[in-house]
Structure 1
Amino acid sequence: MPERIGVYPGTFDPVTNGHLDVIQRAARLLDRLVIGVATNAGKGPIFPIEERVELVRAETDAIAAETGAVIEVAPFEGLLVTLARQHKAGMIVRGLRAVSDFDYEIQMAGMNRRLDSGVETVFLMASERNQFISSRFVKEIAQLGGDISSFVPQLTLERTLARVRPKV
């Protein structure tokens, strides 16, 4: 049986419990999961790409050990289907939080399918406790002094607070 390989792309700025939920569920379906950390400077990330890759690796080690899947973390720039081809992935994994995500995601899936018909897009619904979490909201709450501890894992919490609330 051929190896089941998928890619899960995102900016991961910062990586949230919602991301980790999708990663854990995808890792149960795949032999190898490549987490593509997008450069995406247009979103104005608070973490440089190298630190986002490092955080995603650190936060997914336990998932790899638990599921037995190989989890790789790779920075990328450019087309998602190019990343999928580079890693011989037959699946793109996307997380959906709400119906509002679906419109954008279905358009992206259609475009990716036209670019490479050999790569399927699979949608995983966020679990109930993670449906409302987004990196954008996490950053905004942290910058405004709110508690983000239930939205991100511990290492990411510490790094995010250090980044948005520097000590004087």
Structure 2
Amino acid sequence: MRIGVYPGTFDPITLGHLDIIKRGARLVDRLVIGVTTNPAKSPMFDLDERVAMVEQAISDIAGASVVTFDALLMDFAAEQGASVILRGLRAVADFEYEYQMAGMNQQLNDEIETVFLMADVSLQPIASRLVKEIARYGGPIDKFVTPEVATRVAAKVAGEGRR
């Protein structure tokens, strides 16, 4: 059985993430979406909220599941029995970062391959960071996330305004 891991913070999960998940799920028998913490980021949503959004968004994708982790990616991937790590690329800047990360990961565990998937052209500009920024300024985000995620983001932004 070929197992893949698609890691990220998913704060929030976007249509770009879903594109990579759907396409990646066709490449492996089981796809683990690893929702992680990232000390370098201050997320809008806590870990449980992000997991709930991802679980809802992937509910119709056969072979996909969600697992949280707070460890080195290569350790997490090995624990899951993965032979593949999936990463999405949107632009050249993504490639430079991901290329360096893939090289470091290979040094940690050369039994696990990194596979890059290009984002669908129509979804390339979407970034969670930009979705949150647009929402905070009252802009529409329905072209970038599922309706359920848009509702959650709107509620979170409204809650931030009350502080």
With the shorter chain as reference, the TM-score category is over 0.9
Deviation at 1:63, TM superposition (A): 2.2
Task: Give the equivalent residue in structure 1 for 2:130.
Answer: 137
The correspondence for 1:24, drawn from 19, 22, 25, is: 22
How many residue pairs were aligned?
161
- Output the amino acid matched with 2:42: G
Matched, 1:44 2:37: no
CA shift digits 1:80-134 (9 cap, x unpaired)? 0011011000000000001111000000000000000000000000001110000
Deviation at 1:42, TM superposition (A): 2.9
Higher relative helix content = 1
Q: Please list, as runs of the form range in 1=range in 2, the aligned pairs for 1:54-133 lying within 5 A after superposition.
A: 54-64=52-62, 70-133=63-126
Measure the CA separation in 1 of the matches of 2:82 and 2:26: 16
Task: Describe the SS at the equivalent of 1:8.
Answer: strand
Task: Describe the SS at the equivalent of 1:42.
Answer: coil
- Which sits farther off after the overlay, 35-44 or 14-23? 35-44
Task: Describe the SS at the equivalent of 1:94.
Answer: strand
Deviation at 1:62, TM superposition (A): 1.4
Task: Give the TM-score taking structure 2 as reference length.
Answer: 0.96
Identity of counterpart residues, as a percentage?
54
Q: Is there any run of 5+ residues in structure 1 with no aligned partner, and where?
A: 65-69
Task: Describe the SS at the equivalent of 2:116.
Answer: strand
Measure the CA separation in 2 of the matches of 1:9 and 1:93: 8
Task: Give the TM-score taking structure 1 as reference length.
Answer: 0.93
Measure the CA separation in 1 of the matches of 2:39 and 2:110: 28
- RMSD (Å) for aligned C-alpha atoms: 1.1
Measure the CA separation in 1 of the matches of 2:16 and 2:116: 14
